[in-house]
């Protein structure tokens, strides 16, 4: 069997020598009392978009689910196994999170695959089927006249956040606490190149820079 990657061992050693000493008591406390994060983040698998890094979160702070293109499916209580729905159920019903953040991002490979529809994806591939949940039956997602491919891509990346927020509300166990004001839903978008974060203004349906809106 090939050896465990050395750079991961090295990274773990750095963790134990630098980060763990300052967080040891926190880990012990979390181990004894269990986790009670107030925030659930639904993000993309993309290696550049780590919620814990972006939000500078320590152990126990974020309950994170990551999947291709940060998608939440619609509520579908059938005989199939639903990973995102199971995590959502646990976060809301057991952990009682107060916030659910859908974190989209620039240069999303899942969205790229969805837009291109072409090779290397075949109809039998997993990504194609997974991304298909993004569109509603009969809905068409097309580049608008005079819209550049870059703008079209960003629009669809942000649309994935909107769709996930919409789909979250199809879950009865999300609807009820949201209506009671016990849980709030949020959208955000991360610009990889600049490390910029944009937060969704639910009233205007626009993403606003977190630096400008909320101060440095
Ligand atoms: Zn992505």
CA distance 84 to 86: 5
2 Cα to the center of ligand 1, angstroms: 29
Of residues 163, 167, 66, the one with CA closest to residue 109: 66
DSSP code for 205: T
86 Cα to the center of ligand 1, angstroms: 21
Of residues 153, 130, 147, 116, the one with CA closest to residue 73: 130
179 Cα to the center of ligand 1, angstroms: 30
184 Cα to the center of ligand 1, angstroms: 23
32 Cα to the center of ligand 1, angstroms: 35
105 Cα to the center of ligand 1, angstroms: 6
172 Cα to the center of ligand 1, angstroms: 27
pLDDT of res. 215? 59
pLDDT of res. 125? 77
The pTM of the full predicted model, rounded to 2 decimals, is 0.94
26 Cα to the center of ligand 1, angstroms: 31
CA distance 11 to 4: 12
128 Cα to the center of ligand 1, angstroms: 14
What six digits make up the tokens of 37? 């994060």
191 Cα to the center of ligand 1, angstroms: 11
1 Cα to the center of ligand 1, angstroms: 31
CA 113 to chain centre: 18
Of residues 39, 92, 35, 89, the one with CA closest to residue 64: 39
30 Cα to the center of ligand 1, angstroms: 30
The segments of the chain whose pLDDT lies below 70 read 118-124, 213-216
6 Cα to the center of ligand 1, angstroms: 27
51 Cα to the center of ligand 1, angstroms: 12
Of residues 133, 138, 137, the one with CA closest to residue 82: 133
67 Cα to the center of ligand 1, angstroms: 8
**Between β-strands 196-201 and 99-105, what pairing exists: parallel, antiparallel or unpaired?**
unpaired
pLDDT of res. 34? 95
Of residues 116, 121, 118, the one with CA closest to residue 149: 116
DSSP code for 195: T
Q: In what order do the strands lie in the sheet with 62-67?
A: 62-67, 39-44, 99-105, 184-191, 196-201, 206-209
pLDDT of res. 39? 98
């Amino acid at each position: 069997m090939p050896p465990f990657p050395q750079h991961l061992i090295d990274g773990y050693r750095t963790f134990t020598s630098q980060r763990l000493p300052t967080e040891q008591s926190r880990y012990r406390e979390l181990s004894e009392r269990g986790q009670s994060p107030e925030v659930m983040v639904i993000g993309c698998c993309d290696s550049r978009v780590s919620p814990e890094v972006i939000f500078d979160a320590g152990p126990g702070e974020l309950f994170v689910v990551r999947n291709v293109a940060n998608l939440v499916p619609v509520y579908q209580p059938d005989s199939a196994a639903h990973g995102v729905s199971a995590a959502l159920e646990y976060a809301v019903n057991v952990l009682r999170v107060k916030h659910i953040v859908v974190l989209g991002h620039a240069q999303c490979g899942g969205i790229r695959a969805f837009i291109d529809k072409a090779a290397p994806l075949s109809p039998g591939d997993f990504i194609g089927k997974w991304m298909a949940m993004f569109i509603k039956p009969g809905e068409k997602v097309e580049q608008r006249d005079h819209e550049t491919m870059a703008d079209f891509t960003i629009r669809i990346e942000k649309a994935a956040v909107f769709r996930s927020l919409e789909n979250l509300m199809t879950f009865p166990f999300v609807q009820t606490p949201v209506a009671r004001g016990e849980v709030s839903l949020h959208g955000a978008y991360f610009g990889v190149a600049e490390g910029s974060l944009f937060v969704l203004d639910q009233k205007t349906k626009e993403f606003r820079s977190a630096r400008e809106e909320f101060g440095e």
